[in-house]
Structure 1
Amino acid sequence: MNAHCDIAIIGGGPVGNALMLALRDSGLRITMLEARTIEKVSTDPRALALSSGSRQLLERLGVWEGITQVSLIKTIHVSQKNSFGRTLLRAEELEVSELGYVLPYTALQNALQSASKGSTTTCLTGAAVTQLQSTANGASINYHHAGQDHQLEARLAVVADGGKLLEATHPPEIRDYGQSAIIAHVTCTHPQPDTAFERFTMQGPLALLPFRDGYELVWTATHEMAQEMLHWNDETFLTQLHQHFGDRAGKFLTLGQRTCFPLRLKRAPEITLPHTVLIGNAAQTLHPVAGQGFNMGLRDAWELAQAILDCEPEALGSDAMLANYRKQRQLDRRAGMHFTDGLVRLFSNDLLLLKSGRAAALTILDCLPGAKKFVARRMMFGTNG
């Protein structure tokens, strides 16, 4: 006999957990399926960059106060390599306490899980979904858990991670940037407190995010160069980083474990699937420049929860309900994708005319408080800013 629920959340990462928490008092029967075991979920080494808008959402979910090891971003320094142009975004000028935050993925995940204690949601880790199909009245989900195959019927299936289940029948739009990102933790002689750096180069952007005793580094390069960089010894890597970034942080001293992943834009088709909706990186995967991806996914979860809570019980998962949700999210999603994609295309080249124009644009932006506030608030709050 098949199990039944109102909402099945496929993916137990931060976006899926945020949706679950936003619906915890709804009275709906919710089941969460996470393919990873709890051990793998809780040991992810990544750090996340959160916007002020994301902090507000996490406060509403009752999660923020339980998060530890948070580093603040109060200034963002934007520059272009071998160019005079630069822009400074400062929290006090934008009338906010901070522009953003950097924290361990594990800290956020643990806080979300702690906040969900006592919830009536059924959470299954190590539950790998093998098939997702729409039916006349809902969605049918096949998954493998504890050595056995299971089936779950839901009125609404929310895919909050990956999205590969639907790619065979609904292929996404994919744009390969020809770049990979190297991520590592570095320390230096002159760290600038609460200051993040975004530096554009012809091979791609380089970001230093203040974290703990140093910075989280995100260094983009071609796929081939990134693989070569993974095999540099620490001294060579830090020397090359200093030459690439400059003297603003002094000499780079230590280097943590390096990881690498390819960069691409992926966007799910803009269609309404019966009783199924995609959010977070299942709906869109963005280039990490400007740190928009996870923050957009969190807004997906929050607004979907509001759409679920506002709809009539019999309308849950209906075409009308899901089409309305997609319409509400369309502007924010498109704006975020165009913003990050445009930055990569505009700055990842060494064309002389574009280089001069970019330098001038950064300088002009730095002199226009209204324009800086507009850009910063879109980064912090999306189109709601």
Structure 2
Amino acid sequence: MTEQRSELDIIIVGGGVVGCLLARALKHTDLKIGIVEARAYQPQQGHPGFDSRTLALARHSAHYLWQLGFKPQLSQFSTPIQSIKITDQGHLGQCYLDSQSQGIEALGYVISQQQLGTMLYSALQSQDLQWHCPDKIDALRLAQDKVTLTLASGQVLSTSLLVVADGGDSPTARLLGVNSNIEDYAQVALVANVECELPHKQRAFERFTEHGPLALLPIGERQAGLVWSLAQTMQDDFAGLTDEALLSKLQQAFGYDLGRFTRISRRTLYPLRLVTSETNLLHRCLILGNAAHTLHPIAGQGFNLGLRDVEQLAAILASHTGQDPGMFSLLNQYHQARQGDQRKVIGLTDSLVRLFSNQYAPLVVGRNMGLSLLQGCQSVKNLLAWQAMGYAEKQDA
């Protein structure tokens, strides 16, 4: 095959949600951008990475997508979260968060990853981008003024900045010699959609059960996205259950706030681990999203953290138009700006997993006392609510 060469300002490795979001966020710059994606987009199904998992968009995340021009699509395809009820099975401790007490329209929004990804990908079709799909990186070389990539197709690309956004266990990060720190939670997530007898009234639920944390996110009027974190030892037992038997277990664990669960979609199970790359910054390279930090879904913060990575990087690059996008001062500015948020969210999520996946009696008593105290302290609830919405502090409504 004849070798073809191309020079770009930025190459994004990974055409999933985070990669597409970054390309869209840079739409109004004059940067020449390319995307390298290993898996082909299917005409009817979109990208294989745009699966049916449900995403809880923090309010900040939704508002950023609005700024990028996606408010009409989000209004059509997402469901607002008006309140969140947090409970512990078999115990009295509970806490409620609601948008009305915060004086805002919603705490967040629920959308399927497939719908969000398809929405982003469709918007990029009218944007001046260089697509390499399906294609992958066979080799790369870092030089003082550029990064050179050799693709499986035989093309050779060079770029001022390489952004690695090809998901957890990133093959590109490995090519760069970046290892990952892995904390195996010995859990799996059971993910499905369920139909409910009663309207959910735009309520989300987080319930800590004997089997593990269980989240239900509102979809439409009578559907909910289920994410149930289970001990790995229970994976085969739950995978083998009939729909009726699984709904019965879910009903027993959750209760009847939504009446009876009447139907469940095809379920998927995947392992839960905390994966963090040893570094997110290299010479002319940045690692973003799940490639940099893959989190447990207990607090629903994984995608929201990746979105804030994108937002910060896009803002820095847009404010330095005409400069070399891969120069160290810009990349270090991004790195320093993001460290605090990343550490806080990763630490909080990890702590919640250990606290609420544990049935050790003193811990159970302590966390229920904590939920009860939290319910009675509005100022602390306000702080928790705004952090969950993706803000460091309370914002103007």
The residue that corresponds to 1:93 in the other structure is 101
The residue that corresponds to 1:65 in the other structure is 72
Q: d(CA) in 2 for partners of 1:174 and 1:96?
A: 38
**Which of 11, 14, 17 is equivalent to 1:14?**
17
Q: d(CA) in 2 for partners of 1:160 and 1:324?
A: 19
The Cα of 1:384 is off from its aligned counterpart by 5.9
Q: Flag the 1:174–1:383 CA change in 2: closer, same or farther, 3 A.
A: farther
How does the TM-score come out when normalised to structure 1? Answer: 0.94
The answer as to 2:65 corresponding to 1:55 is no
The Cα of 1:46 is off from its aligned counterpart by 2.4
Residue 151 of structure 1 aligns with an amino acid whose one-letter code is V
Q: d(CA) in 2 for partners of 1:157 and 1:247?
A: 50
The Cα of 1:311 is off from its aligned counterpart by 2.9
The Cα of 1:301 is off from its aligned counterpart by 0.7
**Which of 112, 136, 141 is equivalent to 2:149?**
141
Q: Deviations over 1:327-373 (max 9, x none)?
A: 10011111111111110011111111111111111011111111111
The residue that corresponds to 1:3 in the other structure is 6
Q: d(CA) in 1 for partners of 2:148 and 2:334?
A: 21
- Identity among equivalent positions (%) equals 34
Q: Flag the 1:9–1:127 CA change in 2: closer, same or farther, 3 A.
A: same
Q: d(CA) in 2 for partners of 1:271 and 1:72?
A: 33
The Cα of 1:271 is off from its aligned counterpart by 5.6
Q: Do 1:156 and 1:275's aligned partners in 2 also have CA atoms closer than 8 Å? A: yes
Q: Helix, strand or coil for the counterpart of 1:62?
A: helix
Q: d(CA) in 2 for partners of 1:181 and 1:272?
A: 30
How does the TM-score come out when normalised to structure 2? Answer: 0.92
Q: d(CA) in 2 for partners of 1:143 and 1:103?
A: 34
Between the two proteins, the alignment pairs up a number of residues equal to 382
The residue that corresponds to 1:41 in the other structure is 47
Moved more, 300-309 or 168-177: 168-177
Show structure 1 runs of 4+ deviating over 6 A: none
Q: Do 2:274 and 2:294's aligned partners in 1 also have CA atoms closer than 8 Å? A: yes
Q: Do 1:204 and 1:344's aligned partners in 2 also have CA atoms closer than 8 Å? A: no
Q: d(CA) in 2 for partners of 1:49 and 1:62?
A: 19
Q: Flag the 1:76–1:274 CA change in 2: closer, same or farther, 3 A.
A: same
Q: Helix, strand or coil for the counterpart of 2:62?
A: helix
Q: Flag the 1:193–1:9 CA change in 2: closer, same or farther, 3 A.
A: same
Residue 127 of structure 1 aligns with an amino acid whose one-letter code is D
The Cα of 1:191 is off from its aligned counterpart by 3.6
Q: d(CA) in 1 for partners of 2:54 and 2:16?
A: 14
The residue that corresponds to 1:345 in the other structure is 354
Q: Do 2:166 and 2:291's aligned partners in 1 also have CA atoms closer than 8 Å? A: yes
Q: Deviations over 1:24-63 (max 9, x none)?
A: 1211110011222111507632222211101111011112
- What is the correspondence of 1:1-385 to structure 2 with a 5 Å cutoff? 1-39=4-42, 40-41=46-47, 44-67=51-74, 68-144=76-152, 148-162=153-167, 163-167=170-174, 169-212=177-220, 213-270=222-279, 272-311=281-320, 313-383=322-392
The Cα of 1:308 is off from its aligned counterpart by 1.1
Q: d(CA) in 1 for partners of 2:123 and 2:262?
A: 38
Q: Flag the 1:132–1:379 CA change in 2: closer, same or farther, 3 A.
A: farther
Q: d(CA) in 2 for partners of 1:53 and 1:175?
A: 28
Q: Deviations over 1:172-227 (max 9, x none)?
A: 11111000000011112224210010011344210011113311111111123123
Q: d(CA) in 2 for partners of 1:120 and 1:253?
A: 47
Q: d(CA) in 2 for partners of 1:296 and 1:322?
A: 18
Q: d(CA) in 2 for partners of 1:167 and 1:60?
A: 34
Unmatched segments (≥5 aa) in structure 1: none
Q: CA RMSD in A?
A: 1.7
Unmatched segments (≥5 aa) in structure 2: none
Q: Deviations over 1:278-322 (max 9, x none)?
A: 111111100001210001111111110111122363442122221
Q: Do 1:272 and 1:319's aligned partners in 2 also have CA atoms closer than 8 Å? A: no
